[in-house]
Amino acid sequence: MSSRNIFLTLLLGSFKLIAGMSLSGNYTPTYIQCPSNVTFVRPASEGLSDYEREWRAKRTPAVVDSLQSYLKNVNIADFDIDVYINALGAHESAVPVIGFTLSGGGTRAEMSAFGMIRAFDNRTADSVNAGTGGLLQAATYVSGLSGGGTALGLIAMSDFQPLDESLEQGLVNYTSPPGTSPVYNEIASKAEAGFNISITDIIAIGDNHQSLQIVNSSVDQYSRLWSDIQSFPGFSSGLTPMAILMLNEVIPAGLPGSASYNGTLIPAQESKFNGTFGSWQGRANAFTPIQYIGVQYQNGQPINNICVNGFDTAAFVIGVAESQTNGLVGQFARRDKIPYPPNEDVLEEEREEAQLLTPLQAFCMHTGPTRFAQYEHSDAGLQSQTDLLLVDGSEFWQENPLPPLLQKVRGLDFIVVNDAGGSELSTGWANGTTLHNSADMAKTFGLPFPKLPSVNTMLNLNHTLFPVFYGCYETDVPLMLYAADAPYTEYSNITELGTDFDNSQISLLWNNTLTLYSQDSNQIAANWTTCIACAATHRSLERLGKETPDACKQCFDKYCWNGEVDDSEPGFLSPSLILDPSESWTEWNASFYG
Ligand SMILES: *[C@@H]1O[C@H](CO)[C@@H](O)[C@H](O)[C@H]1NC(C)=O
Ligand SMILES: *[C@@H]1O[C@H](CO)[C@@H](O)[C@H](O)[C@H]1NC(C)=O
Ligand SMILES: *[C@@H]1O[C@H](CO)[C@@H](O)[C@H](O)[C@H]1NC(C)=O
Ligand SMILES: *[C@@H]1O[C@H](CO)[C@@H](O)[C@H](O)[C@H]1NC(C)=O
Ligand SMILES: *[C@@H]1O[C@H](CO)[C@@H](O)[C@H](O)[C@H]1NC(C)=O
Ligand SMILES: *[C@@H]1O[C@H](CO)[C@@H](O)[C@H](O)[C@H]1NC(C)=O
Ligand SMILES: *[C@@H]1O[C@H](CO)[C@@H](O)[C@H](O)[C@H]1NC(C)=O
Ligand SMILES: *[C@@H]1O[C@H](CO)[C@@H](O)[C@H](O)[C@H]1NC(C)=O
Ligand SMILES: *[C@@H]1O[C@H](CO)[C@@H](O)[C@H](O)[C@H]1NC(C)=O
Ligand SMILES: *[C@@H]1O[C@H](CO)[C@@H](O)[C@H](O)[C@H]1NC(C)=O
Ligand SMILES: *[C@@H]1O[C@H](CO)[C@@H](O)[C@H](O)[C@H]1NC(C)=O
Ligand SMILES: CC(=O)N[C@H]1CO[C@H](CO)[C@@H](O)[C@@H]1O
């Protein structure tokens, strides 16, 4: 993964491999006869799928067990954990539903996303000592988008193996491989089999080859499927959270709903483990099993009963989710909003030389067969399409994959929003704009969202430097912990396209994230980690009709936004290291990369 600076090199020359190479074919889907016992498309209006409901029934008792040990470690004063845990045993519907969202933002967001998962993992001794470890084990959902989706892909495909182990085993590997690599055979083979090839495939193969390995196994990483996750021991027994990727869809040019010649981007498709692919709102309003997304359906059925197996390789699915992060050719989907990148001519030449039939625009996003043609529950425009165009989840001026976790049918009580987008301020720090974008989208779709302060207020009250809670004093919305990436022990505003980090640099960046989430083991903010536990259990206690513990009331007073407004013009955010303000960015930069 993360070999982004070699992207162009690999792109040029890649398709020349098509002629005369021996093709391994592992990444290539194959045509099969459709299984007869599958419901190919189901309407979103049916609510959670049977599978998700069954999985939740397995996850819930594991969440209760995990909460018990997490709460014992955190210790909320004068709160009887055993009484609470017993109450949950008797009232399953009161068990808190906790989720994490991992933002986009390229390599920098990947580092932050890994650091966040690690910071809440009870298998990370530092995190347990700092008072945050264990919340991951109590979480039900993790969603990711773009860079955060890449990180989540690795994590989920390892069945939530502890990240320190993945780092040690070389799965988290940010060392650029030398020169061009022969893996492009894989793409050529897929093209020869008649599938459209796009930038997504190149990213899939170029970026995801290390992270999808199984250490000491001969299993080919490119043949591993996204849908394999449903059979992993941790996931299938309800011991790890469900991972969800957020993608975006483009309405093809010339079709109803597309306002532009170049296609119109629309949001919030989701693609989640075990399974399903589709959207709750927007246009699909339906879901389809991800195993069978490689062929066109009509009216909810594959045409001529022909299906495709192996289209949903993990590399490819993650590739779609991160297809903007390549930086050089990314953002094509919104080319109607920004100028073409300068290298378009080169791309076009390559495409022609390789005799790819895919038009350039389609080449720049995944163009695949639609599964919603003539499907009565989908939008009329989508029903009339033959292809579905998919792009990076971040390409809708959003960075935080919140929509999947805001769905009322999932009933989220508490969401930790890890925002490492870094594109808002020129220094690479956040000002809250993309969180507002999520709130706007939620409003459009009628999804619950806590009230937010304005961007100016967020900056003036330091909400993007120190994590903060939203929604504590509201009902019917999930409580939200908003944590923008900020410099605690390291200037983590590294470039989105960064590569070539060794393991010790990665560890330093992960430590920055842990320091943020634990507020340096509560040294920066007294009782902070207690407050996370308070927020995680708050809605659950409300459902049980229990009083909010005094310790929680006190910490909410300190760390929840209480409606205070300061809309004055904020100063420019260019913070020093919170733990060591004397170390300038220049000094840090020299020593970190030195
Ligand atoms: C469908 O049938 C196949 C073959 O009998 C079986 O392996 C598979 O689990 C079944 N799938 C479902 C969704 O029941
Ligand atoms: C972490 O949590 C899981 C689930 O509650 C538990 O089984 C496991 O023993 C815990 N591990 C550690 C190291 O605390
Ligand atoms: C990381 O990737 C580089 C380049 O692809 C490779 O040389 C190195 O062996 C990998 N590191 C580990 C620990 O696997
Ligand atoms: C992989 O194999 C090597 C050499 O036998 C061994 O040292 C290492 O522990 C193995 N790694 C894993 C994760 O099994
Ligand atoms: C579509 O992209 C082309 C190429 O950059 C540009 O000339 C054109 O203005 C775009 N169309 C719209 C409607 O934005
Ligand atoms: C490939 O893309 C073109 C549009 O660019 C589309 O017409 C065609 O149906 C696609 N083919 C497949 C196999 O998805
Ligand atoms: C916040 O970021 C957005 C997006 O980059 C920018 O347009 C806006 O001017 C910024 N506002 C402030 C107050 O920093
Ligand atoms: C914001 O943080 C800065 C740096 O830590 C501090 O100097 C300032 O007083 C804080 N402002 C508020 C309103 O907390
Ligand atoms: C991690 O950060 C903490 C501050 O929270 C610091 O005390 C510790 O030395 C750091 N660890 C490493 C390995 O840098
Ligand atoms: C931390 O919480 C404890 C228990 O509620 C309380 O006694 C103490 O005053 C709090 N400390 C601060 C600095 O708020
Ligand atoms: C990172 O942030 C610091 C201030 O916090 C700033 O001085 C530096 O220029 C930023 N680095 C980059 C690459 O933007
Ligand atoms: C929609 C779908 O693929 N559901 C599958 C999820 O995983 C379980 C367990 O492997 C299967 O039984 C379901 O068919």
Closest ligand 1 atom number to CA of residue 37: 1
Checking if the pLDDT of 9 tops 50, the result is no
Q: Compute the distance from residue 461 Cα to the ligand 8 centre, in Å.
A: 7
Residue nearest (by alpha carbon) to ligand 9 atom 11: 511
Checking if the pLDDT of 6 tops 50, the result is no
Give the residue-averaged pLDDT of 89-113: 95
Asked whether 503 and 174 are in contact (CB, 8 A), the reply is: no
Q: Compute the distance from residue 510 Cα to the ligand 3 centre, in Å.
A: 20
For 4-172+182-407, which CATH class? Answer: alpha beta
Tens digit of pLDDT for each residue in 448-458?
A: 999 999 999 99
DSSP 399-430: -S--HHHH-GGG--SEEEEEE----SSTTS--
Testing ligand 3's pocket by substitution, the residue of 10, 154, 173 carrying the most ligand atoms inside 8 A of its CB is: 173
Closest ligand 3 atom number to CA of residue 503: 13
Q: Regarding beta strands 387-392 and 366-369, do their DSSP bridges make them parallel or antiparallel, or are they unpaired?
A: antiparallel
Q: Compute the distance from residue 122 Cα to the ligand 2 centre, in Å.
A: 6
To the nearest whole number, what is the mean pLDDT of the chain? 83
Distance between CA atoms of residues 82 and 536, nearest Å: 16
Residue nearest (by alpha carbon) to ligand 4 atom 10: 216
Closest ligand 8 atom number to CA of residue 575: 4
Closest ligand 5 atom number to CA of residue 339: 5
Checking if the pLDDT of 581 tops 70, the result is yes
Checking if the pLDDT of 271 tops 70, the result is no
pTM: 0.89
User: CA-based angle 97:98:101, to the nearest 5?
Assistant: 140
Q: Which ligand does the CA of 72 lie closest to?
A: 2
Task: Kindly report the backbone phi and psi dihedral angles of residue 333, in degrees, each rounded to the nearest multiple of 5, phi listed first.
Answer: -60, -30
Cβ burial of 581 (10 Å; 0-12, 13-18, 19+) is: exposed
Tens digit of pLDDT for each residue in 281-314?
A: 777 888 888 777 777 888 888 888 888 888 888 8
Of 539 and 335, more confident? 539
Of all residues in the chain, the percent with pLDDT exceeding 70 is 81
- Domain locations along the chain: 4-172+182-407
Lowest-confidence pick of 224-238, 445-459, 573-587 = 224-238
Q: Does the Cβ of 336 fall within 6 Å of ligand 5? A: yes
Checking if the pLDDT of 5 tops 50, the result is no
The amino acid at 195? F
Checking if the pLDDT of 68 tops 50, the result is yes
Checking if the pLDDT of 560 tops 80, the result is yes
- The confidence band for 554, taking pLDDT boundaries of 50, 70 and 90, is very high
Tens digit of pLDDT for each residue in 377-419?
A: 887 877 877 777 777 767 667 789 998 899 999 999 999 999 9
Asked whether 364 and 343 are in contact (CB, 8 A), the reply is: no
Testing ligand 1's pocket by substitution, the residue of 32, 36, 37 carrying the most ligand atoms inside 8 A of its CB is: 37
Distance between CA atoms of residues 227 and 225, nearest Å: 5
Distance between CA atoms of residues 5 and 13, nearest Å: 15
Q: What is the pLDDT of residue 12?
A: 34
Q: Does the Cβ of 524 fall within 6 Å of ligand 9? A: no
Distance between CA atoms of residues 203 and 142, nearest Å: 23
Q: Compute the distance from residue 76 Cα to the ligand 10 centre, in Å.
A: 10
